[in-house]
Amino acid sequence: MAEPAFVPRHRRLTGGWLAVLIVFSTAGTLLAVNQLFNLGFGARLVLLENRYLYVLLALFFSLTFLIFPATRRGPRDRVPWYDVLLFLAAAATPCYFAWNGLRILEEAWDFRAPTEAVWAGALLWLLVLEGARRAGGVALFTLLVVLSLYPVYAGHLPGPVSGFSLSLPDAIRYQTMSVEAILGIPMRVFGTLIIGFIIFGAALQATGGGRFFIDLSMALLGAFRGGPAKVAIVASGLFGSMSGSVVSNVLSTGVVTIPTMKRTGFRAEVAAAVEATASTGGTLMPPIMGATAFVMASILGIPYLQVAVAAAIPSFLFYASLFFQIDAYAARNGLRGLERQDMPSFWRTLVTGWFYLTAFGVLVFLLVSLRREAHAPFYATVLLLILAMARQETRFGVRTLVAFVADVGRILAELVTILAAVGLIIGALAVTGVAGTFSSDVIQLAGGNVFFLLVLGALACFVLGMGMTVTAAYVFLAVVMAPALVQAGLNPVAVHLFIMYWAMLSFITPPVAIGVFAAASIAQCNPMRAGLEAVRFGATKYVLPFFFVYNPALVLQDTSFAHAAVVCLGATLGVLLLSYGLQGWVLGVGPLAPNLTGFVVRILFVASGLLLATPEPTTDLVGLALGATAYVGLLRVGRLRQAAVASAT
């Protein structure tokens, strides 16, 4: 029996409230453009950074109480009176701090703010907690309540978790008025980098970019065996890199790919699993990678481009593994591709959608060649909209424009709420001094065992990812866990990507598996069965982070190009053999028999693949020997069977 349909999280705004959403979204976007391009409002007026961020909070954070109902059963067709009050308070409180922005700096309000500012800070704190509950879930809210108040009771805790205590008023001052808490790294990254990329992704979707990437993938891969599933892999990867959201990726591309997969013979559970797994990987694929990668770059203190480059090989290996598994699954089950008449024309698709690729190319050029990270997405968005307006099919009407601005507002409201909330955790750990001592305590607990530290970090990422957004889970562990792993001698970039990968896994792993639930609602299948299939198709993602942490060459750290190429080649062969073992089908041999011999061969292929994907000379040789032995043995058995059949006839 099919599970209930996926419940929409957003309230449907109409009339005056839709107008408020449009006005606030437009004002916030224009404010960001003014600040990032140093326009000075046309009068060379300089806006202090804290004022700028507080105003962004007022414009985007306040929208959370209009967009997200208080409960799952809350009204979705109207805004109740209590949400109106919360919206007004969330808009007014940051404006109070923005008005006093200069005084906050000159008079050090983060330690000695006046009484009325403390009351305003307490109200802002409570509003951020409630906003995080609505946008990020109960798990994030619970963690925030416990950790944001940590400075108040830190001095009363024993041993490693003990820290410097503050009074409640002093904690409020620091959390709401310092540059290390609500206005900390996550919020600063939002104000300088994230806004532009979110707008670019929304512009691509509003102008039909999602449909273009699906059609292009369909034209290229639809005719091959398992073609619709391969289309889902490519389309979801491209779309997910732009959107940064697993669920929105599933719901946008899955409505096309999942029914097509089912129509060509894929079981509903498999179709849902493939779409969910591919959509999860999109957030880890350059060049955009969603919001988390920008926060990562800021925490590491490196350009975003370095993060995107480091993520390239792991992303390729993950999608290569998924592609190999789909090919093996389709071959084993005799699944064909689409008929030519059911596929769009490649050249016609390219001619009608060339401007999407042009805008995407301009974005990459500005990022790679000119290193204009803050400005690049705005230039690419303007170019995309101009080119789209030149064609009648993609030209914006009033309704399309309203929908585009509203989508931008919804996405940015959710993001700014999560990032401001995570800032409370960072502020609590920073002011108590625990952030600096926790790493040493964790290393001591692990007895210096790096593998134990990694397993502990992976479990923490997975558990936190079950109830939190990827960004929230990543930022928390980047502050708490990453320093311990780096202190143990691991590469910082590899460590932070390790955390990001494991934080994503809860989207496809039962019992939570939010991405799978979304896909199952489209496929009309049992989400738990789909989740188990997703674990198999996404198996590489569980082990890949351990590989690139132990050998940073896989994330292009501390290596030469030649060495990285050799490592990547060996890892690609490894994920190929791993895929054959998981799916029970081998190129040149066919399906493996469902008996003890077939089971042993599958185990050998999985072991060989894991050893080859571990980029060490010894493991490579052992893995290659195991894989070659299993493959040659299969060919030998096949020839003997053919000879026996020939002699019998």
Name every residue whose Cβ is closer than 8 Å to that of residue 400 and which is 6 or more positions away in sequence.
206
Q: 159-180, pLDDT tens digit by residue?
A: 767 888 899 999 999 999 998 8
Roughly what angle, to the nearest 10 degrees, separates helices 539-550 and 492-504?
Answer: 170
| pLDDT tens profile 249-282 | 888 788 889 998 998 899 999 999 999 999 888 7
Asked if residue 227 lies in contact with residue 452, where contact means CB atoms within 8 angstroms, the answer is no
Please state whether 422 falls in left (phi above 0), alpha (psi between -120 and 50) or beta: alpha
- CA-nearest of 84, 78, 81, 45 to 65 is 84
464: left (phi over 0), alpha (psi -120 to 50) or beta: alpha
Write out the DSSP string of 437-461.
Answer: HHHHHHHHHHTT-HHHHHHHHHHHH
Instruction: Round to whole Å and give the CA distance between 594 and 299.
Output: 50
Averaged pLDDT, 16-28: 95
Mean pLDDT for the stretch of residues 488-498: 91
pLDDT recorded at residue 645: 53
Q: What angle do CA 355, 360, 361 make, to 5 degrees?
A: 95
Question: How many helices (H) and strands (E) would you count in the chain?
Answer: 33, 2
Distances in Å between the Cα of 518 and the Cα atoms of 238, 249, 262 are 19, 10, 16
328 touches 580 (CB < 8 A): yes
Residue 320: pLDDT band (50, 70, 90) is: very high
Q: What is the pLDDT of residue 328?
A: 92
Query: Nearest 5°: phi and psi at 78?
Result: -155, 160
Q: What is the pLDDT of residue 505?
A: 87
pLDDT average, residue stretch 70-87:
88
**Three-state SS for 96?**
helix
The pTM assigned to this predicted structure is 0.84
Q: Where are the beta strands (DSSP E) in 545-634?
A: 585-586, 590-591
> pLDDT at position 648, please?
60
Residue 614, judged by CB atoms within 10 A of its CB (0-12, 13-18, 19+), counts as buried
Name the β-bridge partners of 585.
591
Q: What is the pLDDT of residue 319?
A: 92
How far apart CA 359 and CA 19 sit, in angstroms, is 29
pLDDT of residue 53: 95
For the stretch 427-468, pLDDT in tens is 998 888 876 666 667 777 777 688 888 888 888 778 777 656
Q: What is the pLDDT of residue 42?
A: 59
Range from 369-373, 487-491, 620-624 carrying the lowest mean pLDDT: 369-373
CB within 8 Å of 396: residues ≥ 6 apart: 206, 207, 385, 388, 389, 404
Round to whole Å and give the CA distance between 143 and 133: 10
Residue 590, beta-bridge partner list: 586
Predicted local distance difference test score (pLDDT) of residue 44: 59
pLDDT digit string, tens, across residues 597-629: 788 888 988 999 888 877 677 777 888 888 888
Q: Check whether 140 has a pLDDT greater than 60.
A: yes
Residue 247 in this model has a pLDDT that exceeds 70 = yes
Domain boundaries, the chain: 15-183, 187-414, 561-649
- As a whole number of angstroms, the distance between CA 385 and CA 7 comes to 32
CA nearest 170: which of 100, 222, 97, 111? 111
Q: Which two tokens stand for residue 186?
A: 């996550």
- Confidence bin at 1 (pLDDT 50/70/90): very low
pLDDT band at 317 (very low <50, low <70, confident <90, very high): very high
* 423-432, 508-517, 639-648: segment of lowest average pLDDT: 639-648
pLDDT given for residue 5 in this prediction: 45
